[in-house]
Amino acid sequence: MKPIKLHKPLLQTVQKGLENIFADSYADKEVQKILRTNKQFGSKDRSFIAETIYDIVRWKRNYEIIIKGLQIPDANWQAFIFVSLLRRQYDLLNPEIFEIDIDTLNDNDQLDLPLNDSRISFPEWLDQRCYNELDEAWNEIASSLNIPARIFIRANTLKTTAEKLLTLIKKEGIDAVIPFSSMNPERAIKTCIEILSKNNLRNSGLYKSGLLEFQDLGSQAIGQFCEVKTGQTVLDLCAGAGGKTLQLSALLNNTGKIYATDKNQARLENLEKRTQQAGCGNIKVINYDEVKTLKDIDVLLIDAPCSGLGTIKRHPDTKWKLKNEDIEQYIGIQSSLLQENKSIIRTSGKIIYATCSILPSEGEDQIKNFLRKNSEYILKKELRIHPHLHGCDGFYMAEILRK
């Protein structure tokens, strides 16, 4: 048991964070804001805030069952925090802070019952949809998605190597390793480093000098999957913040040309600054409506908008904000992106289609439907990255060739 004595400001901060997340705020942004604006909290309190918020977001539905079983009256966010402490083996030294009659809560066996099944931690409709699409594999996947995400970075090979960067990171007292890639042992992702200890890398000189980018192992696999060649012209159609754009620039060794765009132009606002920081000289950020003027693209990367179900390790609130109609809308958008942009690639050019989803309806099925409608394209290869097998976010990717 870990002894802990809570104080009111700490309890109220966690409670307010949960209220905001389940109203309209994103968990990662909310936690960042809390830690940025509450400098009075020490390192232990800051860790407690982040860990408690994420724990409750992950296990909210399970905790609801526990609270009901323990017959806690007035089940507000304080009750969730209390149950989270019990479940994580904390010994609360001042239980009176919760204004709960602790003496009546004798049956701690109630804590274990709903936590034996990770599927309970998902909304019923989502659990059913995932089971329908994934069958028994969903049991293991659901369990893996409740494990906090590991931290991966990408060494920017325009400026360093993973081995050199690893040495510099360790000099700063940070524990890190170059992970073995079980996704494709013959072609391991040589730019990837896993961070194993607490760190402040985002504020370090290593990050500010462009030596590294924070990028999940699975996300780095997409860039490598593209297999770009020196001098090629690439279009990153759904570039977002630009992590894969920067990776592709390094893989091209600053040759050729990369056009980066996104329908949501606001997501690109920091990309040019990051491009300069990383030393990338072959990236051009364009408006989305300029895409129709491009032709003879060698590689079209469509990292399509999707449910994001593969990223629940790091974005657990996704499962509470997502609706079934959202998934259907994403499937329609994915199909349109493939259909509307297929002719932009040259003959023998390729489309790389990717999603950070675990659902076949957003991956394998989407590609089957496209190929059925477009006989002049063929599937060369596809790769499914599973969160329960590979320890990173879940992704699907496919390479489609134009005959």
Least confidently predicted of 1-15, 110-124, 235-249, 283-297: 110-124
Task: Please state, in angstroms and rounded to a whole number, the distance separating the CA atoms of residues 265 and 389.
Answer: 35
Q: Is the pLDDT of residue 363 over 90?
A: yes
Task: Return the number of other C-beta atoms located less than 10 Å from residue 198's C-beta.
Answer: 10
> Pairing between strand 90-92 and 377-385?
unpaired
Residue 190 has pLDDT above 90, yes or no: no
pLDDT value of residue 102? 63
Mean confidence (pLDDT) of the chain: 92
Determine the Cα angle at 393 with ends 246 and 389, to 5°: 130
Please say whether the beta carbons of 31 and 17 come within 8 A.
yes
Beta strands in 123-266 (DSSP E): 151-155, 176-177, 192-195, 212-214, 233-236, 257-260
Distance of alpha carbon 193 from alpha carbon 201, whole angstroms: 13
Q: Name the band, by pLDDT with cuts 50, 70 and 90, for residue 22.
A: very high
d(CA 162, CA 50): 29
Contact 96, 37 (CB under 8 A): no
Residue 20 has pLDDT above 90, yes or no: yes
State which H helix or E strand residue 302 sits in: strand 297-303
Band of pLDDT at residue 30, cut at 50, 70 and 90: very high
Residue owning tokens 């932009």: 344
Q: In the predicted model, is pLDDT for residue 273 greater than 70?
A: yes
**Partners of 213 in beta bridges:** 154
Confidence of residue 110 (pLDDT cuts 50, 70, 90): low
For residue 284, how many C-alpha atoms fall within 13 Å in the half-sphere facing its CB?
14
90-94, 257-261, 317-321, range with the lowest pLDDT: 90-94
Return the structure tokens found at 126.
């989502």
Q: Sorting pLDDT into bands at 50, 70 and 90, what band is 262?
A: very high
pLDDT-derived band of residue 185, with 50, 70 and 90 as boundaries? very low
C-alpha 48/C-alpha 383 separation (Å) is 38
142-147 mean pLDDT: 95
**What is the per-residue pLDDT for 169?**
96
Residue 402: helix, strand or coil by DSSP? strand
Query: In the chain, what percentage of residues exceed pLDDT 70?
Result: 94
pLDDT at 182 over 60: no
DSSP readout, 60-94? HHHHHHHHHHTT-SS--HHHHHHHHHHHTTEEES-
Q: What is the pLDDT of residue 103?
A: 60
212 has which bridge partners? 155
Instruction: Give kind and range of the element (H or E) at residue 236.
Output: strand 233-236
- Quick one: pLDDT at residue 23? 94
Average pLDDT over residues 242-260: 97
| Tokens representing residue 19 in the block | 């209220």
What pLDDT is attached to residue 27? Answer: 96
What percentage of the chain reaches a pLDDT higher than 90? Answer: 80
What is the chain's Cα-based Rg?
23
Q: What angle do CA 16, 22, 25 make, to 5 degrees?
A: 80
Q: CB neighbours (10 Å) of residue 182?
A: 11
Q: What is the pLDDT of residues 38-83, one digit of tens each?
A: 999 998 999 999 999 999 999 999 999 888 888 877 778 999 999 9
Question: Model's pTM, two decimal places?
Answer: 0.92
What mean pLDDT do residues 381-389 have? 94
- Separation CA 393–CA 244 (nearest Å): 15
Tell me the mean pLDDT in the region 155-179.
Answer: 95
Residue 344 DSSP label:
G
Q: Is 302 exposed, middle or buried (0-12, 13-18, 19+ CB in 10 A)?
A: buried
User: What's at 320, amino acid-wise?
Assistant: W
- Give me the amino acid identity at 61: R
